[in-house]
Amino acid sequence: MTTLSTFDKALLNLLQSDIPICSHPFAEMANRLGTDENTVINRLRELKAAGYLRRIGTFFDSNRLGYRGTLIALKVEPSEINSVAEAVNRYPGATHNYEREGLYNLWFTLLTPDAECESNILAEIRALRGVEDMLKLKANKKYKINVQFKLQ
Amino acid sequence: MEILSDRDKNIIKVLQEDFPLCEEPYKILAERVGISEEEFLRRVRELVDEKKIRKMGAVLRHREVGFKANALCAWNVSPDKLDDVAQTMSSNAAVSHCYDRTPAPNWNYNLYTMIHAKTRDECEKIIGELSQSTGVTDYKILYTKKEWKKTGMKYFCEQA
């Protein structure tokens, strides 16, 4: 993997927080970084190809789009964890799915348009072989969502 | 909550796709919706003002940029202190997410933070500091063993 130069770090720090909403956003970023539009675009393509960027684009507030978010913890029999994790992955609303250390060993977030849709999906998952218990932890207030890694 | 128009849903759908890395990315997205770039940009700015869009930007692959220890930490906070504790934890730069959640039977943890650090030791040090500064002593550190999925949501595609 390519090593990040000082310029790359400045570029990624800027990109994480703010893509300008205007006709030539990368020209505006280039302006702030003291370079030109093509340099920014080409380097971002390379960094993306090298796997540094998980996602570039728009991040929405799911609640304000009318979706509900719940964190689900499953206690899964260890021998069944792969098949349960793969079954959970198949739901488009399951956006984050992690195996974790502890009694509850599979944790995922589920976004759905309404409570009925959520309870249908959770009933299907609860019935999967190897699922011994399920915790439903509905999100109330989101105090912080800010996935930024300041590169130095 | 107001209902989003079909035009808005179409704008949101194209914004969820990979952002084009080219000179005029919004023009390309506007063409996919079938509206002018000007109208598209105006509506995107409004969606930001309405806080439906949290940010236009990027998320890095944190493991690749050196943050290898990542833990979900679940805290049992007394309800009267929840707001204060959540604000204190949110102000720590190592905390990326901080949500208050309704607990479950036999599971009293009501505040959830994601913590990112370079090593497990550093992660535990941060959690120790959060515990000290807030006085919350009942917590569970849930280290990531394996990432099975991490994607953005595709909104308004249920019937697609």
Whether the per-residue pLDDT at A89 is higher than 60: the answer is: yes
Same domain, B14 and B77: no
Amino acid symbol at B36: S
Mean pLDDT for all residues in chain B: 91
Cα separation, B97 vs B95, whole angstroms? 6
Same domain, B74 and B133: yes
Q: Give how far A84 is from chain B: nearest CA, Å.
A: 11
Domain with residue B112: its CATH number is 3.30.70.3460
* Cβ proximity of B114 and B42 under 8 Å: no
Give A106: exposed, middle or buried? Use CB within 10 Å, 0-12, 13-18, 19+. buried
Question: Which token pair is B119?
Answer: 């090593």
pLDDT score recorded for residue B1: 53
Residue B156 forms part of a structural domain: no
Q: CA separation (Å) from B109 to A26, A48, B83, B103, B120? A: 43, 38, 14, 6, 22
Q: CA separation (Å) from A79 to A53, A76, A90, A125? A: 33, 8, 19, 16
Q: What total number of domains does chain B contain?
A: 2
Question: Which token pair is B144?
Answer: 């990531």
Would you tell me which residues 115-134 of chain A have a C-beta closer than 8 angstroms to some C-beta of chain B?
A: none
Nearest neighbour of B155 by CB, restricted to A16, A53, A65: A65
Q: Give how far B46 is from chain A: nearest CA, Å.
A: 11
A41 touches chain B (CB under 8 A): yes
Domain ranges for chain A, please list them.
Answer: 6-49, 63-138
Could you tell me how many helices (H) and strands (E) chain A has, helices first?
5, 5
A45 touches chain B (CB under 8 A): yes
Q: A108-120: per-residue pLDDT in tens?
A: 999 999 999 999 9
Cα separation, A84 vs A105, whole angstroms? 11
Kindly list the residues from chain A whose CB atom is less than 8 angstroms away from the CB atom of residue B116.
Answer: 149
Question: Which token pair is A134?
Answer: 């399920």
Instruction: State CA B87 to chain mean position distance.
Output: 16
B9 touches chain A (CB under 8 A): no
pLDDT score recorded for residue B101: 96
Residues 6+ apart with CB under 8 A from A87: A125, A128
* Cβ proximity of B146 and A99 under 8 Å: yes
Cα separation, B150 vs B157, whole angstroms? 18
Residue B62 forms part of a structural domain: no
Q: A30-56: per-residue pLDDT in tens?
A: 999 999 999 999 999 999 999 899 889
Whether the per-residue pLDDT at A123 is higher than 80: the answer is: yes
Residue B26 forms part of a structural domain: yes
ipTM > 0.95 (yes/no): no
* Cβ proximity of B131 and B137 under 8 Å: yes
Instruction: Give CATH for domain A63-138.
Output: 3.30.70.920
pLDDT band, very low/low/confident/very high, at A2 (cuts 50, 70, 90):
low
Same domain, B37 and B96: no
DSSP A73-142: EEEE-GGGHHHHHHHHHTSTTEEEEEEESSSS-EEEEEEESSHHHHHHHHHHHHTSTTEEEEEEEEEEEE
Same domain, B37 and B76: no
Q: B63-103: per-residue pLDDT in tens?
A: 766 778 889 999 999 999 999 999 999 999 899 899 999 99
Domain that holds residue B132: 69-143
Mean pLDDT for all residues in chain A: 92
Q: B48-60: per-residue pLDDT in tens?
A: 999 999 999 998 8
What is the average per-residue pLDDT within A70-85? 97
A25-39, A47-61, B126-140: which range is least confident on average? Answer: A47-61
* Cβ proximity of B111 and B93 under 8 Å: no
